[in-house]
Amino acid sequence: MGEKKNIEEKIRRFVNQTFLRGREANPGLENDTSFLEKGIVDSTGVLELVAFLEETFDIKVEDEELVPENLDSVSSLVKFIDRKSA
Amino acid sequence: MLVGDFLKNSAQLFPRKTALIFGRRKLTYEEMNVSANRLANALISLGIRRDDRVGVFLDNSVDAVIAIFAILKANATFVVINPTTKFQKLSYILNNCRMSGLIAGWDRFTLVSHIHEDVPSLRFVVSSGAREEYPKTDPTRFLDFEELLRSSLPQPPPSKCIDQDLAAIIYTSGTTGVPKGVMMTHLNMVSACTSITTYLKNTSSDIILDVLPLSFDYGLYQVLMAFKIGGTLVLEKTFLYPFDIVKTIIREKVTGFPGVPTMFALLLQLDHLKDYDFGHLRYITNTAAALPVSHVKKLREAFPHTQIYLMYGLTECKRVSYLPPDELDRRPDSVGRGMPNEEVYVVDEQDRRVKPGEIGELVVRGSNVMRGYWELPEETDKLLKPGKYPGERVLYTGDLFRMDEEGFLYFVARKDDIIKSRGEKVSPKEVESVLYRLDAILEAVVMGVSDPILGEAVKAVVVLKKGVDITGEEIRRFCAQNLEDLMVPKIVEFRESLPKTETGKIKKMDLTSKGE
């Protein structure tokens, strides 16, 4: 559980610094807020996100994994990383 | 023919055919046509008349498409506004064209809740999409999209326009930093759609994937053209997750995929693109910025059965040229030749046509050339000049080109300093004027720097006032609060001073290195 909390912290910090930049949604970033629905991430943002994940968690994100089910919210990212690093 | 006839005719010919796919929703031509009729009747009962301007301030969605056709059916002019536009610019655009009505998402409610105070011409806002909360609003000024559809009649309202009337005003960034409204008549838009669907050989069996914003004319025209040919449009909110797009192309058996270089660069980063079967994908189109030759090569490897069309255009005439796919090997660096029913030529500073191979300004002649900029006669006269016959006006594009002996065009340079990021225009002036609103900034200059994914990335070079401290991140954050997403600088560089010419003009060329 502590591990998951740690992953979540890192992801939140990255999303806050890189994408939110103090926009209205900033305090309201829930774990299941959809990046797509809320316009938080753009197409180049996804690239930045993937680069961050690969570097920080030492994983390789495959083509098939570049889908919203894995990447579109803090909670789906935590689950995805947890599964990849298991 | 009027632009609204695209939907009307296809609904008569193919009533039960799928017109639009958006996520899990599939709508037939009849459903789209009836919804557009209902909303059109609602708009008329709200006081919308021929020539009134009505805004569409929505993400790509079913409602956005319904709204566009409903506005046309109400004999009004539609204005699609980038959904990431912030208050100041939104209010500028609405006031500039004295908009009568606005169709906006409930998720933009905080932004539009006080818009009436700033825009006296605005009579009502129709809000679409899911409501998270039910704000207390004046029910005569704020109406719900779904409720209007339910309470209005499905019969088409009487059509009153002729093809000289304005179908749309499309706002575009100008060198002055103030957005300009490109006036497109029905004739302009129908002509552009006819020429483009002719050279793309579109038929009603085409299934076109549209991941481009409808506020960008390239994205908007996919809707218009798909409905014109009676094809199917697969609309996505945005281009975000590359593999999702691959899955959509395969699942929906997409036959046409329009994109910009940034999207193709992202797709080409997938490792196994070659392993998928894209046999049904008939064509890919690229415009808005040049597609690097290396990317063309990789796209052809990944999509061996697909024809690739390189194109060039500007909002003021929609499209200028296309390169027939079988010319790709012979002229990979050309943007092709004029499209059907259009003439293009290159002139020197004395307005004389130049010889093949010589550089000059590109001029476009055709029914697709805009009527002018909305209430900007002087700006209009700079681009639209007398043509061959009395009363005719042709478009001076401001882009430098050369043309070979067979009429193929090669882009040389722009005459102004507009940035093309992700294929969309960014006015450096507009970004600079936001930067100057920050107290800490003494001087600021904005330019495009080459970027492998974006084409050009927006870069700001700033000089701070003495004794103040502000980080690049804080500057970017301020920009994000005041500009559309695509205009926010990717790079902020600090300098002690800016290099200037003897007359005090900032020398941008000396600043275009990428550094942080």
CATH number of A49's domain:
1.10.1200.10
Q: Can you give the pTM of this predicted structure?
A: 0.88
Contact A57, A81 (CB under 8 A): yes
A-B Cβ pairs (cutoff 8 Å, strict): 68
**Residue B241 with chain A: CB contacts under 8 Å:** 36, 46, 66-68, 71-72
A58-62 average pLDDT score: 89
Same fold, B5-185 and B239-414: yes
Four-way CATH pick for B239-414: 3.50.50.60, 3.40.50.12780, 3.90.1640.30, 3.30.2310.20: 3.40.50.12780
Count of the separate structural domains present in chain A: 1
Q: How far apart are CA B229 and CA B409, in angstroms?
A: 28
**H or E element at residue A6:** helix A2-15
Does the domain formed by B5-185 have CATH 3.30.1360.70?
no
Q: Is this complex scored with an ipTM above 0.95?
A: no
CATH number of B420-511: 3.30.300.30
- Looking at residue A28, what is its pLDDT? 63
- Looking at residue B132, what is its pLDDT? 61
Q: How far apart are CA B183 and CA B186, in angstroms?
A: 10
Query: How far off is chain B from A1, nearest CA to CA, in Å?
Result: 29
- Looking at residue A34, what is its pLDDT? 86
- Residue-number span of the structural domain to which A18 is assigned: 2-85
* Token pair of B58 as six digits: 């929505």
- Looking at residue A1, what is its pLDDT? 53
- Per-residue pLDDT at A25 exceeds 70: no
Domain locations in chain B?
5-185, 239-414, 420-511
Low-confidence ranges of chain B (pLDDT < 70): 132-135, 503-504, 512-516
Of A23, A47, A62, the CB nearest to B480: A23
**Residue B302 with chain A: CB contacts under 8 Å:** none
DSSP-based three-state secondary structure for B70: helix
**Residue A68 with chain B: CB contacts under 8 Å:** 240-241, 244
Q: How far apart are CA B447 and CA B310, in angstroms?
A: 26
DSSP-based three-state secondary structure for B375: coil
**Residue B239 with chain A: CB contacts under 8 Å:** 43
Of A17, A39, A46, the CB nearest to B241: A46
How is residue B152 annotated by DSSP?
Answer: S
